[in-house]
Amino acid sequence: MSPPAPDDCLARNTWICGEYLSTRRHILLDAVLEHLQLTAVPVALALALAVPLAVLSRRWSWAAGPVLAVTTILYTIPSLAMFSLLLPVYGLSASLVVAGLVLYSLTLLVRNILAGLRAVPEETRQAARGMGYGPVRLLLTVELPLALPAAMAGLRIATVSAVSLVTIGAIVGFGGLGNLIYAGMNTYFKAQVLTASVLCVVIAVAADLLLLGVQRLLTPWTRAAGS
């Protein structure tokens, strides 16, 4: 007769285990906070770079082709290869993961911001110039606000992608929840793999909903048009 199965879900190594959540909550919290940081910082830095690149590409049409080509090539580089290329510069550090995610996020952000700027009606620009708007005021008060829906769509995609790509940072020890997934796969720790994976999905969905809410607050005219 075989021995009875242990009552402890950790001992039985089940996929769903409340004991894992209660005994590892501090580890999970630290991993979540690291994951959030490694997502927010590169997306914010990429946005700071993407806005001027998109504006310059809109102002000087000849620059759009090279900017889009370079950012697209960067996006096609496999993540492991990207980290390997950046390793001599940043070493085994969180900066390595941040730099890689900045480069990946640029493509999505530049394309969408540029598309939003190009979609601004020319008659709107002409009307603003007729009212005495200079280039800077025109950009800040007319063009960028009207480009917000497309820009926010790109930001949402870039953020969700970054949440997923952060897990690849586990190969250098800075992967947030990816560290737990990687360690759990090596030891076949089912509860750890599932819990960390589910938390990644929760973070991605929550971030997307948060940005969607921000978009709706910043673009009330789109709600009016929809209704």
**Residue 43 lies inside a defined structural domain of this protein:** yes
**Residue 1 lies inside a defined structural domain of this protein:** no
Structural domain including 149 reads 23-216
pTM for the model? 0.85
Give CA separation, 176 vs 85, 98, 102, 195, 213, in Å.
Answer: 21, 12, 17, 13, 25
**Residue 5 lies inside a defined structural domain of this protein:** no
Tens place of pLDDT for every residue, the chain, 227 residues?
455 455 577 777 778 877 878 888 898 899 999 999 999 999 999 999 999 999 898 888 888 888 889 888 888 888 888 888 888 888 888 899 999 999 999 989 999 999 888 888 888 888 888 887 777 888 878 888 888 888 999 999 999 999 999 998 888 888 889 899 988 888 888 888 898 999 999 999 999 999 999 888 887 766 655 55
CB 166 within 8 A of CB 173: no
Q: How many domains does the chain have?
A: 1
**C-alpha to C-alpha distance for 71 and 114, rounded to whole angstroms:** 13
**Residue 7 lies inside a defined structural domain of this protein:** no
CB 38 within 8 A of CB 169: yes
Give CA separation, 6 vs 12, 14, 147, 188, 189, in Å.
Answer: 6, 11, 59, 18, 16
**Residue 14 lies inside a defined structural domain of this protein:** no
Amino acid (1-letter code) at residue 139? L
Q: Looking at residue 88, which CATH number applies to its domain?
A: 1.10.3720.10
